[in-house]
Chain A
């Protein structure tokens, strides 16, 4: 192949790249006609990513009318084990199974588990919320600290997660049903490096 032919071929290919780039640009423009994620969705995605890397947590749970409770969670394979005071429960997705203590489940036990800030349970709740529709997140103050409040459930019992506006770490939760009111403060989180 002579140099002239080679140049002509290269020029044609360069032209082809330009044509294809125009078409790809049009494809990109078409894609931008899709709705983008809401601010709440974006925030929830970042919180989810943070929770996915959290392996254990400790929290202080306070349910109105009951003594304060020390709670902790750690991962066990695909599930989590939560210690609620002296009792231990296995959390499988959003289901709770008693490992020690009273076997029967109750709303109070569900509230305590929710408020224990188990990272995997929060992940499941948050992902379900994101799958169901756009997430609404409110910038507010909680116990004097600037936070985002993410409502994990739209129906009672309500569950609200408060994350730090600066680090997006969970700081606490609040739970409200017709009969139970409670909240918790996250004391520490263990994270994968």
Chain B
């Protein structure tokens, strides 16, 4: 192993290769959420005059890193001989590589050079750490563990559980103010923006586009975190204990501090466009599929109305009742609630079986002059577009990007998806559930809570969002601040409590908190343990009782279960699959498969499972070809059978 040193004006340059062989890069298409330890770890250690600390630091790192890890010392031609020492230690220790740069060019440039080399070496996780022991190497396993769930993990001094040892009060105050200043100007929900102890996933560094990182000094820490946030990456903080350097001198000086101060507003105003080009293109593609699929639904609905097929006597006026087909069945009940409020008819099917959020919105739009039917269709279709985007952004958190994109496209053209264009609340629940999950994964619990409440208030299945939210909250609990814990608990409980607000309202309004249950009973939906058996018996006898439509619902139910299992196998968290399973299977306890095809539309992991199946090119083409035709067929049969 040799380390040659470039003495040209341009910094950078060569690497002393480590003794240990590099691990293989995971094959293309491997899940993005690889388990830490399954991918190679490279620790970037920039040095300038760190001779006193380097050997101790490398040995300390050797004690905590996994066997195939590599420490990359990035030395800026330290006059005290740090580079030479690094060479010697590289020979001795075997897990150390040295990247020599010809001149001191700033911390930011050193890291960029190190990151590039780490990516070339096939790193799956890249850790950056200071050489002066202000960051404890023993914290690295915790950072790697947290990186299983995030794209960028910041060892944070200012999150709950984090601390600073041996700093004077003024110094602490300056550091805190610096972080606060950057946080406020950049509007990034990260407490320790100036922290330099981080762990990046490979995908995060690739998404960051290292050429765009301009900072030289400490502002590099702010810039990299800010760009990660803007790129839509998941940034989390994990508490660390920060101590003052053990030996050597700090490189901080006035010009570096000034660069940091000036760089923050420059970042804010020079980066008007989000660098998430992939996401932007995907959103365009999803919007195009939404537009195309909704055109199919609307055209089919108009054809049924104009040609009177399959019911010649059902031909409402196009002028007075445009798109009347999309407002029938339950749409009529939601309209009644919007116009007249709830009325419980004892022993008879009544509107108290229908949850209020959709009707409230219909009523709100009607108040500004829109007819209630049009308001319902507008809410449903616009909500569906939002829901598809939500499905994509949430899917990106859990699956590789192509799968997330495919899931949203499949949802747009799903054969039962015509329901999303009807005056039904499904178009409202989908965005609430997907964005609720997305916000939770981004630790934006206060944004998540209203989504969870809206989902539960629009359809009872919406309350199952609490399951994945609870799983996320439990996993994050140790790293959350006290306030974060309160917010996360609030978000988890928001759905169930909003659900409870409905019987409370029925009690207040009609004097009967059980009006929903009674109406469900009158609609032949009484839930019991033997319901699944009764559903199966009903299905067996369906042909003789002229209930052939049940086979459609049963077939979809089977499809849902299969793709949920596929999603589980593809690494979708169990909590999401469990919630999806409940959405699909719980209605069977009412003793019938009736409408299960529609209920399953809100089982979000179903689309992820389909997307996983669609990784096979022929299947993907088949779905994209056949589904729109089935979608149109669904609209044409709408008059014959409620969805």
Contacts and interface: CB of A to CB of B under 8 A. Distances in A.
Given A23-B497, A33-B360, A49-B347, 5 more contacts: A13-B485, A24-B453, A34-B341, A34-B359, A37-B510
Interface in B470-503: 477, 482, 485-494, 496-498, 500-502
Interface residues of B, number: 45
Nearest to A8: B482
A132 to B, nearest CB: 10
A68 to B, nearest CB: 33
Contacts, number: 129
A31 B339 contact: no
Nearest to B347: A52
Given A45-B510, A130-B345, A18 B340 contact: no
Contacts of A19: 449, 486-487, 489-491, 493-494
Contacts of A133: 340
Nearest to B346: A49
A41 interface: yes
A17 B485 CA distance: 11
15 contacts: A13-B485, A15-B485, A16-B486, A16-B490, A17-B493, A18-B490, A23-B450, A26-B453, A32-B509, A33-B364, A36-B509, A37-B509, A123-B348, A127-B345, A134-B340
Contacts of B450: 23
B342 interface: yes
Most buried by B among A18, A23, A37, A127: A23
Interface in B482-536: 482, 485-494, 496-498, 500-502, 504-505, 508-510
List 6 A-B pairs, minimum CB-CB distance, nearest first. A16-B489, A19-B490, A15-B486, A20-B493, A35-B341, A12-B485
Interface of B: 337-348, 356-357, 359-360, 363-364, 449-450, 453, 457, 477, 482, 485-494, 496-498, 500-502, 504-505, 508-510
Interface of A: 8-9, 11-13, 15-21, 23-28, 30-37, 41, 45, 48-49, 52, 123, 127, 130-131, 133-134
B360 A20 contact: no
A20 B505 contact: no
Contacts of B340: 35, 37, 133-134
Given A24-B498, A36-B341, A45 B346 contact: yes
Contacts of A8: 482
Contacts of B505: 28, 31-32
A51 B604 CA distance: 45
Contact of A31 (B345, B346, B360): B360
B341 A45 contact: no
Name B's interface SS. Answer: helix
A23 B494 contact: yes
Given A17-B489, A20-B494, A130 B343 contact: yes
Given A13-B489, A36-B509, A27 B482 contact: no
A48 B343 CA distance: 12
A23 B360 contact: no
A41 B485 contact: no
Most buried by A among B357, B450, B501, B510: B501
A27 B489 contact: no
Given A23-B498, A27-B453, A34 B363 contact: yes
Given A34-B363, A127-B345, A27 B498 contact: yes
Contacts of A48: 345-348
A25 B494 CA distance: 10
Nearest to B337: A34
Nearest to B338: A34
A16 B498 contact: no
Contact of A45 (B343, B364, B502, B508): B343
Contacts of A30: 356-357, 360, 457
A41 B487 contact: no
A45 B344 contact: yes
Contacts of B494: 19-20, 23-24
A41 B339 CA distance: 14
Contacts of A27: 453, 457, 498, 501-502
Contacts of B348: 48, 123, 127
A131 B349 CA distance: 10
Nearest to A19: B490
A16 B492 contact: yes
Contacts of A49: 346-347
B353 to A, nearest CB: 14
A15 B484 CA distance: 10
A28 B504 contact: yes
Contacts of A134: 340
A13 B493 CA distance: 10
Contacts of B508: 28, 32
A34 B356 contact: yes
Nearest to A12: B485
B489 A23 contact: no
A52 B360 CA distance: 31
